[in-house]
Each structure stands twice: as C-alpha cells, then as structure tokens.
Structure 1
C-alpha cells in the first residue's frame, strides 16, 4: 500500500510537519504505525506549502580576453565554476550521478519517503542524528542554502548541521522545487553546484580540473569516478587525496548503474578496469596569473580591475564590484591588442632594459572611444622578489595608468597643448605673435635662482633657436617656454588648468591637486608641465584633440557579457565634447610642427622631434616632446586620427634622478615605432585642417 501511496500524487507534498512529529515518535512507533502518522499529517502540509527557496546565481568564473575575443588574458574567481547546459554534460555523467546519489530520482517528488521512513527507523533505533535519505533535490537545496550570500553566516552553517531540523528544511524546499522545475532542470542545477574537490565547483570545473576536457567529453569510467567523489570530495580525491578510495567509489557507482540497468554488467566491468588517467589543469586566477610569456599583460589587467571597481553597474560599493568580478561569470573582451602591446613593450625595452632602475611606461589609446590598445613598461608584472633589495624588474605598481601609490611623473612641455587650446578658445588665433625673449619676467612672485627682481623668470632652453618672434605654430614646434608662459599670462593659468582637467588630466599628487584648486590663478609654471601625470592620461588627452575635441574616458574593454549572455552598458564608450572641433583642429595643426610635419598653412619652421615624421613614413601625425628641468624626465606624445600614444622616461623611485638624460630621441622613436606598427595595414587618414579664421590673418 505504501509503495503505491509514495509513488502517487501525495508523494510530492511537503513533509516538514510529518517529520517534526515523526522525529519524536519514531522510537515508539513501529514502521506500520509511522506510516499511519504520515498519512494523517499529509493533508495539513498539502494545504500549507513551504515558502519559495531563494536561489542566487551560482558564483562563476569571469574570463578576460584580448580584443580578438579568443586570446585568454586571465580569469577571476573565488570558486572555479562555470554553469553549463545539460546537453553540454556527458550522458554518462548524468546517469552516474543519479545512480550514485539518488536511484529513485525520476520516481519520487523531491523527497524519497521510502528512504525517509527507513532512515528514521534506523536512526531512531541507533540513537544517531538524522542521516541518509538525501535525494539529489535535497542535496541541491543544501548547497543553495550554504552558499547563499544573502543568508546570515549562522543560517549558512545550519544548512550543513547534522540534525533533524536541517533535513526537514531540505525536504520542505525539495518538494517545492520538484513542483517548480523539471527533473532535467534539477539535475542540471545539481551538477552545476556540487563540489568535486580540488577547488572544482560544478561538473564543468571538475571535468577540466581532473581530466582537462569539457564535461561533454567525459567517458563512462571518468564520469563514474567523478560521481563517486561528491560524498567526500577532499578525501576521495583521485588527484591529491586517497586514490584507492576514489577507485572503490568508482566501483560502487558502476555497480549502481548496472543495477539500475543504465549500463550492462559487461560495461561496468570494463569501466572498472580502465586506468585512471588524471590530467590536472590549474586555471589562471587574477592578474599575476597571466601567461608567463606575456607577463606584461598584467599591467593592462591591473588597470582593468581598477576601472571595474569604479563602475556602478557592477555593484553599489567597491567591494560589491570586486565580488562581482570574481563571482559573476562575465565574459570580458578587452581592448588590448596583442600586436600593439608587444610593440609597445619592445619599444619600451629599447630605451631601458628590465635591469634598469629607469622606467619607460607607454600607453596607446584610440581617439573617439578612449579604448586602450596597449599598456607596457620595462618591468615584469610579478610578485616575485627582486634581487638586492631593489624594486625592479618585478613589480605590480601601476606605472602606466597611475593610482595604487603611483601619482605619475612631470611631462614637461607636453602641457603647452592645454595652454594653446585655452588660448584658442579665448579667441586668440594660431597667428598670435610674441617676441619671445631668452628670459621672461612674469607677474608671479618668486625667489631663488628662477626669479628676476622678485618675480618668476623662466627662460628658453636654446635661446639661439627659440628666441624671437613666435606664433603658436613655431612656438609649439620649437617648444619656446617664454612664448607659452606669456600666452598663459594673457589667458590666466586657471584656464589652462581647467582645460587639462576637461581632457582627463588627473592631479593625483596632493600638492598638484591643491595648486589646481583655488591657487590655479598663480600657477604660472603649469604650462611647462611641472604637474605629475601618467602616459595613459596624456595619451588620452591628446587623443581627444585628435578626435575633433571629443573626450572619452579611458576604456579597457570592447564588450562585457554577464553569465546569461546579456551585454553590459559599462563597455560602451563614455564620451563628451571637451573643445570645439575647429579649436581641436587648430591645435593639431600646430602640433604637426614638432614632429617634422608641415601645417595646413605652411607655418612650421622646425621641430624638436623631426625623426617622428620620418618613422611614420608619410602617415599624418602630430605630437609634442617634453623635458623637465635637468632632463629628470623625458616625454613624447603622438597622435594620429586612429591612435594616440605617450611615453614618459622616469625613475619611479627617485624623482631627482636624471632619467631622461640622453634618451630624448629614443623616447620619441619608441612612441613613433609603436604607432607605426599598430597602424600597419590600416588606411591612411588625414587630419582635417582648421578654418582660416582661427588660423588668423597671417595664416
């Protein structure tokens, strides 16, 4: 009678009320009496179903790829797990887990009442806590409860407590789930949440961890081995645990499969004799685990994590976003181009090797999107110790993008671009002329060697080449300090500072941030590039000029999809007009002069980096060199309509070290060669000339 009763409709009803009484009465009731007790309580439970089980998304691996969407950079995860469909799981695995854990899975309604009564009677006689009788559905419930981050720590502990209360909770939810989901769906969910040892959560991770293959490729012996270890995944572990115990469990599973008639006794015997061919695979995790031959990718990866932590779409707090990266199962296709990245690294190393205390961080950015194509420096992204107590060649400091203790480096005359843009915006033209002296006494108070009569008095580095009547074209081309300090006086340094900020220059150094605030009106030296910046900020600022004045936030991704395949808006460029197109085009026209190119109006008459134009082989380019006092740093930033790049030679540990001495031309060439390689095969795109009005009458 009970068999027919348990296999019918009522076997799908909740049993918490039944068991709450049965747990106390089992010692006093024989099996037949207990059956009567169950029947009496079923009607009440049927009319009072359990609450729905909250099922959070399984924690899953986030995978990070280069811009081709195929080249893996690294993964992020707390738990090695990737959910897969049931069709992607070997039928052998599906049959093996049912035979191993729940032979009546397809007959019962979430709770196998035959086994429940048998277990209660057995446990009652033995005086032990509840054990046995756990169906696959109940095990799934247990896994959900113990992993649900929305539950209190105590409730998650209770999910694995060895007592009747835990069993009752599992049973209530299991019956509810059996009504809600098909058997196939419950099996899929169980196989994706079960722990298989060796850090592998879910069947996809287990298959790849133990056999280095997809779960759909599992053979019968492999499936039986994996199914056998879920009860004791760390002890019965064929890779690092008791292999004999794992084999014994495999024998048991194969026997159960034969008993269920899902395989023949001959198949079971053959599979039981099969050798165990374990091929353990370790899945890279985080930025220090990028491929060893490409450890330079770690710097791009590091910037990605920094960017991710600032995206509200991935959580309300930084911690929420970091958790999402490690648990959300995202597929991230970055903007990093391996070819451009390799070129950037090679060219950085051509200036300073890995063994040098000097660094040449280099960034490449796409105008119009802000997408970052490369971030390289002559360092290994690694936590390995360095020889002799120095800070190189291994480091995880963010030399290229800044933050994390890196404030940046002064980039000299590259900041003249911001003064020029602000002056053009104020109504001045490219033809604005000033008779530049060797030294210029300004209106700002100063003392010391740089003062004249108590006022700041900057000078030109090469008076014979720089002094005399200058316009924006040849003032920029020859990098005439006194011309740009005079120009800054005309418009006010606060305007140049504001322009730099509009173009994404971030003042990370506290002293710079203070000067950029209420003191900007007196920051006369700003135009000479005394503030710290990074290659990424600088390249992206010039990229905005190259994009007709449209500034885009730096963006390290092409696309992001969540675990369900939905695209995330954070991957879209975030752009805005920063300066008017004609002003940007005018500034670019003057920026043709430093690199040996000619402006649209033929007004260039010499530049500080003429080798750049030659390296580019006729492809249009604009740019600017920058040297700080005594060549402490040396900078070059170049921009084309398709890409912009910047590099700064500096000593990250000692700002007073003369890192830029003697490497000016090498830095210029490193950036130019990187751009030239990156643009190989792409069409030649010309700059748009500015209007005659903004060029001025002399233009």
Structure 2
C-alpha cells in the first residue's frame, strides 16, 4: 500500500463519497464490533442471531449417488450443484494452504473480520472512486455462501448476495459470531465444501474430480494453487478455456503467496510456477439419461422409475417439487433393488421377436414376492433423450399425435409415471377369482357357461367366449385355464363386480383415465361388468406386483425400487406411518390383502393356463399358454390377456420366487393392433426370463390350498 499522503483538495470529494458508503463497514469491522451500536444493529440483531444459529449447523447442497445392488458401483448422480462433502482430514494440506494464500492471508490471525484488510480496501476503493478491492475474509465469504445455500426463497437469495452496506454489516457480525462457535479448521472445511470453482464444481471434491480426476487428498501444490485461484472468478481464470494465460497468472500469484506465507520454499514455488497447467478432465454423469455407458441404454428405465417413485414419497417433502429438490441436493446414497442377473435375462428375452425398431413396445417387469422389490425392468427401446433416429421425429407431416417413441425414448412405458398403461385383457380375471375365493367360493364350484351370456345385471350386456370349445360346465381351474369369459362374468355377478374392483385397488392398481375412474367409482363399480375382462388400463409394474402378492400367499407389498437409502450422515432415511411410527423408507411395506388359503387356491387354478399341473384339480384338457411350464422347467402359474382385435397382448406369470408381467402394444397408437401373430411374444418373454433368472436355483413348490377351499 502506498505511503503517500492524500492531501490534495481534489481527493476530498471521492474520499467523502466513499466514506459515506463504506464508513459503516469500517466502523463495524473494528473488533470487537463496538461500533455497531447506533447504526441499526439492534433492529437486526435478532435476525442476525437466528441466521448465525442456522449457519452453525447448515450444510451445503450435496450430490446424491445412485449405486448398483453391490453398493459400490456408481451408476449415476443427481445434482443441481455437483458436490460431495469432504472432511478436512481428507483434504491435502496443499489445498488448505492454497485457499488461504489465495483468499485470506491473515485467516489464522483475525477473528472473522480483518481490520487491516478493511482499511486497505477502504484506501484502494477511495483512490479508484469505486469498488476495486474487497475486504471479505474466508469466514465472511463462508457466511455469504452458507446464507445463499440455506435460502429457501428468491428474496432470501437476493438478501444473501446483494451489494449493500447493511448486508456487509450483517455478514461481519455473523462472521464474528461464527468464529466464536467454530474452529478455524471447521470454518475452512465448510468453506472448501461450499466454494464454487466453475464447470458445476461446488466444493473441493467436485473441483478435484472435474479438473484433475482425483480426490482432494492427492492434490499437489500446483493443482491446489490452480483450483484455489478459481474461487475469485471461476470464469475469468478458467483453465479449461483455450487461452490459459489468466489462469496461469492467477495460479502463480497463489504460489507466490504460499511461499511468502511459508507454506513452501521460494525454490519450490519458482519450480512450480514454471510448470504448465495440466488438466485431466472428468464429466460426472447427472440423472438417468447420462448413466455410465455400461448401463445407460438398459438400466435407464429403471432409474426413471426410481425418480417417479421418489417423487411420490412424503418422506422427502410435501410435494413433488420439494421431493425432487431433496434428491438433487440431499446427498443421499441410494442402492437399487435391481438384480443384474435378472435384468440381463429380461433384456435378452424381451423383444426377442420384435426389436427396438418396432412401433410395438414389448416390455417386462419382474417383482419379488414378499418384498415388493422390483428386480428388473426392460423394454425393446433405448433409454435416450436423442430422438433424432426416431421415425417421424423431424417429419412435420406426421402430425402432432405421432410420437414415434422408438428406438429412443424416456417415456415411462413400464409404469411408475404418468402414462395410463395398456388394456390388460384377461389377466384381470385373477382379481375376480381372488375376490370370489376370499368370499367363500370353492375351487370346484361349477358354472354352466354358454358361448354367449346375456347379462341381466349389466344393462343387457352380452359377452362371448373366444371359441365354442369353452362352452359348458366349468370349475375355477378350467374356467381360468381356458380363459372362459362367460364363466367369469357369471362369477362376477355372483360376488358383485365391486369386490373385484376394490381388490384390484388393494393390490396396487390405479385408475388413470377419466373413463376408468368413473367406472371404478363407488356409484358405478357394482355394474362394471367388463372389469373382469380387462378393459381397464394397467402397467406391467402394477400387474407384476399384483401377481407377486398371489405368489406371496396373499400378502401385498408396495412396489419399491431400492435396497437402501442413506442420508448424508450415513443414517437410514426414515418416514412416519399414519400411526406415527418411524420406519425406514427402503424397507418393504406389506399387508395381507386376501387369506393365504385364497391366494394358494388362486395359484392352483393359475397353474392351468401355463400347462402346469395343479395340486388339487383338473384343467379341463387344454390351456391358453401351455408352453410356459416346459420353458420355465419348474412349477409356474400365470394368465394370458388379449384385448379386442388383439390391440395389446399380455402375460403375467409367477413362481414362488419371482413374478413377472409382460405386454406388447403400440404406445403411440392403441388402435394399431399387434395381431394374433405377436400375442405369443409376452408369453415367451416371461417364460424365458423366469427360466434364465432362476437357472441354478433350487426348485421350489407351491403350497397347495386346503381341502376346505377346494370343496
């Protein structure tokens, strides 16, 4: 600083003007802050104390990590600000010294506010007639960053960053208070985890990764000085730009200061200054569309399901926006429930007869009975935001309703999102059968089912069977095995259609169209005769999990995509039940929906469609998917489903260990019928996936129903 006197009259006006602006700041900075009296401090003291209290425990936003089931392999991350909080003992001393040398040479001498720095800035700013030099200490900078990070409204962000004398006074006051509560090491740790280094790198962990592809504990003096130099102006000193002149000069300025402060010898500093800036860049993945390459095209749909599930969990906020903000800022460690072996089997077998270039989507979901954990999700599509390869994606004549979501899409075709799903056909007969069995109907009870049935209850509706071979007396086994429409409409009339509707809801189905909601309403459910024939939309996620409840002896578990969710402090993420009990978010949430005996009876009847042999009855000679038992090679139950003109086709099947549901349909145009020629595709997809997923596993048997429910 110059020692020349400021005596000329020409200097008086700028000094007076600067004094009016900065006088409060100078007075306020003089420790122990006695000058705050009389300048409005009392009016703001309470607010300052409240904010200081918050800052003592405040932590900056942190990246959430998504892991493969091994709990080690990172699949992707979720963040607004790429940051991973790092303890100071896990940072190289070089970066600690470099940031002090770059931003606050007297950090270890002052108490939060540096009077010498304020005086120096006052003189420099007076000479320049503006603000040419700041006086913020590391502590004051931390206060500003922490206030910004803890702000919950735009107004609070503005108040934390606006250039006013009052904001500066509050900042100083809080810096002084913070230094009474936190050690220098704690402040430095928080600062280095809050600072922005450019290129979406918030905090030293992200900076070390993005610029040098390493962790903070391995930073050399040259690397540390380069990063520390960025904090003042990440764009001006950006070393990634083609011209590194400014970054080079700033880095060397930091190295000179490190030598002056005794952190390195003059010779070492001179040698370091001669080195070029050598970067090793990393572009960290963010969100599902940028998953690591090995998993990007295949696990993206599962990742997207995770996000949709997360957005529905009250544990993470009051609404969808709050919950997604928590995901991107909360620093969670999330381990997927997906099973790589089962996922591989699903990917191999789904779409085996209809590839990614087909307008027909063929998808499959595999659920685990007894937990609700989703073990696999696959569809004959590539999870990608790049739609340039899609038919009609750039064709203005295709019309606004043609999405052509193939081969690339991020649409939630498998469930868990906003799409209503696809008509599921006769797979819905399971809900009527379960409701009947749970209401006292026996497996061996008979119904004489004509080819065409004139309903007296459902406004004269007259459903027909798919073929004349279904006509005649049927039991639950043969009626389900042959998929006899008239049998199930008569059974529905006997127990009341609303029982099947309400049971489907208890098993996780949701009505997403106005038509379905109207039919399922309390006023109309009792006359929804076509419900049992599967006229409602459903997703494979819902159907796999509903059938998993049958495999689990009637115990329904909510679909869940995770094995564990840990908070940033390593504790499990928790939620409160309606009764106020705290439980882990990632733990299965199960309840008994139908009796175990009713579920076992339904399973016994559901062995008939697959070509398997039930434990207690006979299937009546033929079935709709008799190839399944031979393909799976172990006890298996399930049900086919097709809609009018075979616009969509389904199969839902299960063993004691796994349940799977597969569909084929055109998501863009439900009137584009898949036809009978492709109706076998979902049957094979489920059968081959169960076979491959269970290869090498012990063969488990279904538990037979009791003689009482058999009748």
* 1:408 paired residue among 411, 416, 421: 421
Match of 1:178 in 2: 179
Task: Describe the superposition over 1:34-88 as per-residue Cα deviations: whole angstroms up to 9, x where unpaired.
Answer: 999978946979x988625232431111111222223333211111111111111
Partner of 1:665 in structure 2? 680
Matched, 1:457 2:457: no
**SS at 1:364's partner residue?**
strand
Question: Relative to 1, partners in 2 of residues 1:384 and 1:666: Cα closer, same or farther, differing over 3 Å?
Answer: same
- The one of 115, 118, 122 aligned to 2:117: 115
**CA–CA distance in structure 2, aligned partners of residues 374 and 272 of structure 1:** 54
Using the TM superposition, give the Cα deviation of residue 309 of structure 1 relative to its aligned residue in structure 2, in angstroms: 1.2
8 Å contact from structure 2 (residues 298, 378) kept in 1: yes
Determine if the alignment matches structure 1 residue 576 to structure 2 residue 577.
no
Q: Deviations over 1:81-109 (max 9, x none)?
A: 11111111111111111111112212221
TM-score, normalised on structure 1?
A: 0.89
Q: Aligned pair 1:537/2:542, yes or no?
A: yes
Q: 1:426 aligns with which of 439, 447, 450?
A: 439
Q: Does 1:439 align with 2:452?
A: yes
Aligned to 2:90: 88
- In the TM superposition, residue 567 of structure 1 has moved relative to its aligned partner by 0.6
Structure 1: unaligned runs, 5 residues or longer: 1-21, 447-454
Q: By how many angstroms is 1:155 displaced?
A: 4.5
Q: Name the Cα RMSD after superposition.
A: 2.6
1:250 alignment partner, SS class: helix
Mean Cα displacement is larger for which, 204-213 or 292-301?
292-301
Q: For residue 702 of structure 2, what is the aligned residue in structure 1?
A: 687
Aligned partner of 2:413 among 399, 413, 418: 399
CA distance in 2, matches of 1:366, 1:288: 26
Quick one: distance in 2 between partners of 1:36 and 1:176? 13
Report what 2:80 is aligned to.
Answer: 78
1:223-254 deviation per Cα after TM superposition (whole angstroms, max 9, x unaligned): 11111111111110001374111111111111
Query: What's the counterpart of residue 272 of structure 1?
Result: 273
Q: Using the TM superposition, give the Cα deviation of residue 24 of structure 1 relative to its aligned residue in structure 2, in angstroms.
A: 4.7
Structure 1 stretch displaced more, 684-693 or 192-201: 684-693
Kept after mapping to 1: 8 A contact 2:95/2:224:
yes
Shift of 1:180: 0.4
Kept in 2, the 8 Å contact 1:402–1:408? The answer is no
- The Cα shift of 1:419 comes to 1.0
CA distance in 1: counterparts of 2:61 and 2:230, whole angstroms: 21
How much has 1:318 moved relative to structure 2?
1.7
Residues 1:371 and 1:43: Cα distance change in structure 2 (over 3 Å): closer
**SS of the counterpart of 1:360?**
strand
1:331 deviates by: 1.0
My pick for the range that moved more, 35-44 or 333-342, is: 35-44
108-117 vs 408-417, greater mean Cα deviation? 108-117
Deviations 1:257-313 (A, max 9, x none): 111111112221222222322122111112222234532322112211111111111
Q: Judging changes above 3 Å, is the alpha-carbon distance between structure 1 residues 433 and 277 closer, same or farther for their aligned structure 2 residues?
A: same
After superposition, residues 497-516 of structure 1 pair within 5 angstroms as 497-516=501-520
Is the CA contact (8 Å cut-off) linking 1:595 and 1:609 kept in structure 2? yes
Q: Deviations over 1:332-389 (max 9, x none)?
A: 1111223322322222220311111111121111111111111211112222222334
Match of 1:8 in 2: none
2:269 counterpart of 1:256: no
Distance 1:98 1:267, change over 3 A: same
Judged with a 3 Å threshold, the aligned counterparts in structure 2 of structure 1 residues 100 and 36 are, in CA distance, closer, same or farther, namely closer
Counterpart selection for 1:522 from 522, 527, 532:
527
1:197 deviation in Å?
0.9
| 3-state SS, counterpart of residue 624 of structure 1 | strand
Q: Map of 1:542-621 to 2, 5 A cutoff? A: 542-568=547-573, 569-604=584-619, 605-617=621-633, 619-621=634-636
2:479 matched residue in structure 1: 475
1:360 corresponds to which of 355, 359, 362 = 362
* Conservation of the 8 A alpha-carbon contact between 1:60 and 1:329: yes
Q: Residues 638 and 652 of structure 2 are in contact (CA less than 8 Å); yes or no, is this contact kept in structure 1?
A: yes
TM-score normalised by structure 2 residue count = 0.88
Which whole-Å deviations, capped at 9, do the CAs of 1:12-51 have from their partners, x for residues lacking one?
Answer: xxxxxxxxxx9559899xx9xx999978946979x98862
**Distance across 2 between alignment mates of 1:251 and 1:72:** 36
Could you tell me how far 1:506 is from its partner in structure 2?
A: 1.4
Residue 616 of structure 1 deviates from its aligned partner by 1.5
Residue among 308, 324, 327 paired with 1:325:
327
Q: What is the alpha-carbon distance in structure 2 between the residues aligned to residue 120 and residue 564 of structure 1?
A: 43
Alpha-carbon distance change, 254 to 647 in structure 1, aligned in 2, over 3 angstroms: same
CA distance, structure 2, for counterparts of residue 277 and residue 94 of structure 1: 20
User: Relative to structure 1, is the Cα distance of residues 301 and 187 closer, same or farther in structure 2, using a 3 angstrom cutoff?
Assistant: same
SS of alignment partner, residue 51 of structure 1? helix
Change (3 A) 1:24 1:388: closer
Report how many aligned residue pairs link the two structures. 659
Equivalents in 2 of 1:355, 1:269: separation in Å? 61
Q: CA deviation at 1:163?
A: 4.4
Equivalent residue for 1:196? 197
The separation in 2 between residues aligned to 1:98 and 1:434, in whole angstroms, is 86
Residue 129 of structure 1: how far off its partner (Å): 4.1
Change (3 A) 1:368 1:510: same
Which of the numbers 101, 105, 108 marks the counterpart of 1:106?
A: 108
Cα 1:271–1:681 shift into 2, 3 Å: farther
In the alignment, is the contact (CA less than 8 A) between 2:118 and 2:135 conserved in 1?
yes
- Determine the C-alpha separation between the residues in 2 that align with 1:516 and 1:380: 35
Q: Give 1:674's aligned residue.
A: 689
Change (3 A) 1:686 1:35: closer
1:40–1:662 CA distance, 2 compared to 1 (3 A)? closer
Any conservation in 1 of the 2:610–2:636 contact (CA below 8 Å)?
yes
- Extract unaligned runs of 5+ from structure 2: 1-17, 394-403, 574-583
CA distance in 2, matches of 1:373, 1:246: 49
State the alpha-carbon separation in 1 of the partners of residues 62 and 425 from structure 2. Answer: 46
- Counterpart-to-counterpart distance in 2, 1:313 and 1:115: 46
8 Å Cα contact 2:308-2:416 kept in structure 1: no
Q: CA deviation at 1:629?
A: 2.1
Query: What's the secondary structure of 2:486's corresponding residue?
Result: helix
* Alignment of structure 1 residues 143-182 onto 2, 5 Å: 143-150=145-152, 152-182=153-183
State the 1:622 CA deviation: 1.0
**Secondary structure at 2:656 match in 1:** coil
Equivalent in the alignment of 1:224? 225
Q: Is the 8 A contact 2:551 2:599 kept in 1?
A: yes
Task: Answer yes or no: is the 8 Å Cα contact 1:234–1:241 preserved in 2.
Answer: no
Asked whether the 8 Å contact 1:419–1:488 carries over to 2, the reply is yes
Change (3 A) 1:36 1:667: closer
